[in-house]
Structure 1
Amino acid sequence: MAAPPRLLEPAPDWTADEKPMLPGSPAAIDHPAYKRLLYFFIGLFVAVSGSLSNGFITANLPLIQGEYGLTPSEAAWIPAAYAMANVSANLILFKARQQYGLRLFSEIGLVLFIAVLMLHIYVHTFEMAVFVRIASGLAAAPLSSLGMYYIMQAFKRANFGRGLYLALGFQQLGIPLAWVMSPYLTGVNDWMLLYTFELGLALCCLAMVVSLKLPRSLRIAVFEFQDLFTFALLASGFALLCIVLTQGPILWWLNAGWLAYALIGALLLIAAGLTYEHYRANPLIITRWLGASSTVRFIIGAFAIRFLMSEQSYAAVNFLKTMGMGPDQFVTFYAVIMAGIIGGTIFSALTFSREKTILHLLGAVLLILIACALDQHLTSAVRPENFYLSQFLAGFASGMFIGPLLLTGILSALQKGPSHMVTFIVLFSASQTFGGLVGSSFFSSYQQMRTQHYQAEIINDLPLASPQVQQRLLSDGQSSRAYTPDPALEQNQALRALHQRVTEEAQVRAYSDVIFLNKLFALLLLFWGLFIIAASQYRSYKQRLRPDSS
């Protein structure tokens, strides 16, 4: 049995109720009411600010692509760089907090975050933009933990679960808030204003956390040199996997041979990292726990729910963009999503109970199922206001599921011992990151294939010799006659207009198929969850029927 970790400094004279649940976590001090309010406000500000940076990039990616003159493939490297850095940072984040202290680590993280945002102001090349996103992804990881712990300090220890729910739910507000704010910050393409605004937010965060510090935590010696080797293997594998998932739908899977080599390299590096961990005396990742049935169920459930949620950010938004909607028309759309996230977060916190976590998760899946049913039948006349109800429900589900999901995993890890927490954090982060990436990649690829299928189908059903098609070509040709006196060009313009209408109709049908497919996935996940609950209840019933062995 491994020796317990060595304390790096004497522990304060905490009471049993004040002692941190885990090294690296702040003590549970009984603060006065005004101080609890300050902790909550600072935690909310930090949690939202940490996700706003990535949200601004997501919301303004087409404009950034135009600013640097990038192809769609090159532009996709910018969000991919953030994702690969953020998921890898969680491999060492937990141990870093335990060894160097949460307060010092968070302040260093904030200073790094500010330095990254200052780099944004001076970025004028594509390569530097990618580097800044990598650094931003690394810096955003400690900010998420910092916001969570500040919000939890606003609650008594018995209600820490409610604080956890609120913290994780509010962290999801960054992307919709960025969409709401971006048109007002980039209305005249003043990128300096956007980056300066982000920098101001980060400086406010630093001023807040320095003015009101978190309570102390236990510091223990946990880092080993072997951890760096594991990090190098797994982080490289995760990075290659992020690249494959973001580039695949754009370059197309079978047209870019290097994607296959990148995928093989990702799988080999991840397999090598896990194999190395399996035979370590004091592993960073406890691989034997990964094979437990409860852990496998958690991985599948966490990945599947995030996969379902990715349809919200892909199908509705990209469909409206295809129909010609611009950033200004998404302001109210994302305000509705924000309202849904806030509502779902507050609902899950108010109804908090360890026994109800599975009900919250199933409720979120049910809401996604209803949202897909509302959106399934799309037409070219659909506008953002037609999505308000469904996207509110999807946002409500997003706010409702994340807290119970994390709590379920934490309780399972703590039952095995504190050493399992690093494994769980990596699992949770990876399931959410790759669930979203795989979902977007899958739905994008499926939509493109269905669009090609419907294009061929519509063209076959519309022979050029039919009177209806000839009438449409004549009408389009007459409308372009004012711009060109050449009959051949006039005919080409009419054919081009017809092709655009065919493509638009094919895309409408393809997006409807995407939503329908996601509805089927949600239905399967709902039935799977109900089956697990029924099986658990049956085992408990059989256990109660057994005679007392004593």
Structure 2
Amino acid sequence: MVPPPGLPLHQALPYILASIVLALTQGLGQGFVSVNIPQVAGDLGATTTQASWLSAVYMIPRAVLPLMLIKIRTQYGLRRFAEVGIVAFLVVSFITIWVTDLRSAMVLQFLSGMAAAPLTTLAFLYALEPLGAAWKIRLGLPVALTFITIGPLLARVVSPALIGDGGLTWVHLTSLGLAMLSLALVFRLPLRPVPHQKVIEPLDFLTLLLLGIGFGGIIIAFIIGPTYWWTAQDWIGWLLVASVLALTAVAVLELNRNNPIFDLRWLVTPEILHLTITLFLFRIILSEQSAGAPRMFQLLGVAPAQMVGLFTVICIACLMGGLACIAWIRPERVAKFHLVALLLIAAGAWMDAQATVDTRPEQMIISQALIGFASLLFLTPATLAGLGAALAKGPQYMLSFVIVFLSTQSIGGVIGSGGFTTLINWREAFHLQVLTEELQATSAATMAEIATRMAALAPQIADPALRRARAVSSIAQDTASQAYVMAYNDLYFLTFLLASGAAVALLLHLLRDRLAARWAPVETETAS
């Protein structure tokens, strides 16, 4: 049964549950790829660097195809496209179980990204369409954003249990099961159809190709660039140049079309442009949670199973942030929500910046929970502001905003993670050089440390030369670990500075608005 607008809450509940399943299906599918890169590399007989391409080829269609969904829904209906997409996702998930080489895995990951492209949009629509206007804001929007955010984090919670000693088979089977459940829900709970008309034009495919080159080049560069290093491979620079040229061509093409894929003039209006930049920068700041703590702990030798508790708490914190939005969100409170979120992120990042080589996941639970809670406090009101601006322009702009929002978040996440990884690698090299020089400069202290470690190794190793080599090696390893932790502390401190600076700017903006409102009546009385 197709839902009429404004269903009572108890009748809309099945659609909201479907939204949750769709969001988790997409989020877990994406998270399983990025979280388990070392395990995937081992299963495919590839290096971790080679396996990183799997994340890139998955993210390219995820960033590009949502922009085409506006016209696809108008011509064919989003439900039909979703059914085809989920069936394809199902087939790909099934085939992935037997993939044993990197080339086949890359092809399937690209197809999987294509098939998963409509799932996040569907998660929004299933949460929003059955509800009346008030509940769209109070309930639908926070629910959709909460579970879209939680999906990749939840992958870190469940992956260790699914992998165990049996490889990735259960990971693939979990993705397969969620795809089957999503397929059943989409067939059983259809969305309201929109009037169909032929709107897809040949130039749309040229725009899509250019978007693929533009977004794809950026995604590949920021995923692979920090690994190969930016200046070590000329093709990375040329790829970024091609991306800029392709996106410029998209803008020129879309501005001169009668029926563009997206309304670029509306997207570059001051209000929407400000909102898009805010969301983009915020997504980059939040990349600290994916590019920071888990990778630091991995370098310190912490196993994924030891981080399950940390990410369980982060998921709970995100849920609490979503519940807080359901309870208190109002259009007039957007700025206050943002201020609280920025202060919480700044506090969490400041706490993380005190990490040492002895820091373990349980010592970051509070700080990371603050950042997880803040992510929903920021993201939901910002999206609310965008939807309000879209609906003021016309109901047909709601889907336009959702789709552009999803694409910018995908690109922002990749750029944030790649940028932070680049910073970490650069600062690690700097700190390692400084620490190495200090070790050489204080040769007496160094020799004393070597002697102490040799004495500790004496019961295990009889040969003095081998004991000395082992002691020197352990000092070098500890120095490298210390350099990495110092680099991550630099990242956390940068996040603190960005969040604090944004909070100060927002406070000044609110103060200006309050003073303007207070002086306005005085100026009116004076003029009269």
Do both share a fold (TM > 0.5)?
Answer: yes
SS in 2 for 1:284: coil
Match for residue 169 of structure 2 among 176, 185, 192: 192
- The residue that corresponds to 2:307 in the other structure is 330
Tell me, what secondary structure is at the counterpart of 1:463? helix
- Same amino acid, percent of matched pairs: 31
Q: Which amino acid aligns with 2:80?
A: L
Distance in 1, matches of 2:442 and 2:281, equals 48
1:20-31 matches, cutoff 5 A: 27-28=4-5, 30=7
CA distance in 2, matches of 1:494, 1:398: 44
Provide closer, same or farther for how the CA distance between residues 423 and 531 of structure 1 changes in structure 2, counting only shifts above 3 A: farther
Contact 1:285 1:422 in 2 (8 A): no
Alpha-carbon displacement from aligned partner over 1:429-479 (angstroms, at most 9, x marks no partner):
333122222221221111122212222222222237633211222233455
**Structure 2 residue aligned with 1:18:** none
Matched, 1:97 2:64: no
Residue equivalent to 1:7: none
The aligned amino acid for 2:288 is: E
How far is 1:546 from its partner?
6.3
TM-score, normalised with respect to structure 2: 0.92
> Which of the pair is proportionally richer in helix?
2
Q: What's the secondary structure of 1:345's corresponding residue? A: helix
Instruction: Give how far 1:540 is off.
Output: 5.2
Residue aligning to 1:22: none
The aligned runs of 1:17-56 (5 Å cut-off) are: 27-28=4-5, 30=7, 33=10, 35-56=11-32
Q: Does residue 1:314 correspond to 2:291, yes or no?
A: yes
Query: Which stretch of the first structure deviates more once superposed, 251-260 or 521-530?
Result: 521-530
C-alpha separation in 2, matches of 1:287 and 1:40: 31
Aligned CA distance change for structure 1 residues 470 and 358 (closer, same or farther; 3 Å): same
8 Å Cα contact 1:51/1:140 also seen in 2: no
| Worse-superposed segment, 433-442 or 341-350 | 433-442
User: Where do 5+ consecutive residues of structure 2 fail to align?
Assistant: none
Q: How does 1:443-458 map to 2 (within 5 A)?
A: 443-458=420-435
Q: What SS is found at the alignment partner of 1:122? A: coil
1:146 to 104, 113, 122: 122
328-337 or 95-104: which moved more? 95-104
Q: Residue in 2 aligned with 1:125?
A: 101
Q: Match for 1:96: what amino acid?
A: I
CA contact (8 A) 2:69 2:78 kept: no
State the alpha-carbon separation in 2 of the partners of residues 96 and 329 from structure 1: 44
1:80 has 2:71 as partner:
no
The CA deviation string for residues 41-68 of structure 1, in whole angstroms up to 9 with x for no partner, is 2222222122111111222111112222
Aligned residue type for 1:118:
F
For 1:466, the aligned partner's letter is S
Range that drifts further, 334-343 or 467-476: 467-476
Distance in 2 separating the partners of 1:287 and 1:179: 37
Letter paired with 2:73: R
**Structure 1: tracts of 5 or more residues without a match:** 1-11, 13-24
TM-score, scaled to structure 1:
0.89
> CA shift at 1:518, angstroms?
0.8
The structure-2 alpha-carbon separation of the partners of 1:481 and 1:313, relative to structure 1 and needing over 3 Å to count, comes to: same
1:342-491 residue pairs with structure 2 within 5 A?
342-417=319-394, 420=397, 424-463=401-440, 466-478=443-455, 487-491=464-468
CA deviations 1:139-169 (Å, max 9, x no partner) are: 2221112222323356444311121221111
Give the secondary structure class of the aligned counterpart of 1:81: helix
Corresponding residue of 1:214: 191
Aligned partner (choices 75, 79, 85) of residue 109 of structure 1: 85
* 2:260 alignment partner, SS class: coil
148-157 or 441-450: bigger deviation: 148-157
Asked whether 1:251 is paired with 2:228, we answer yes
| Conservation of the 8 A alpha-carbon contact between 1:284 and 1:423 | no
Higher mean C-alpha displacement, 441-450 vs 306-315: 441-450
Paired with 2:252 and 2:89, the residues of 1 have a C-alpha distance of 34
User: What number of residue pairs does the alignment pair up?
Assistant: 526
1:275 aligns with: 252
Partner of 1:168: 145
Aligned counterparts of 1:168 and 1:540: Cα–Cα separation in 2: 33
Q: Which residue identity lines up with residue 225 of structure 2 in the other structure?
A: G
Alpha-carbon distance, 1:95 to partner? 1.9
Q: Return the alpha-carbon distance in structure 1 between the equivalents of residues 185 and 401 of structure 2.
A: 30
Q: Deviations over 1:340-367 (max 9, x none)?
A: 1100011112212121223222322221
1:508 counterpart letter in structure 2: V
CA contact (8 A) 1:26 1:216 kept: no
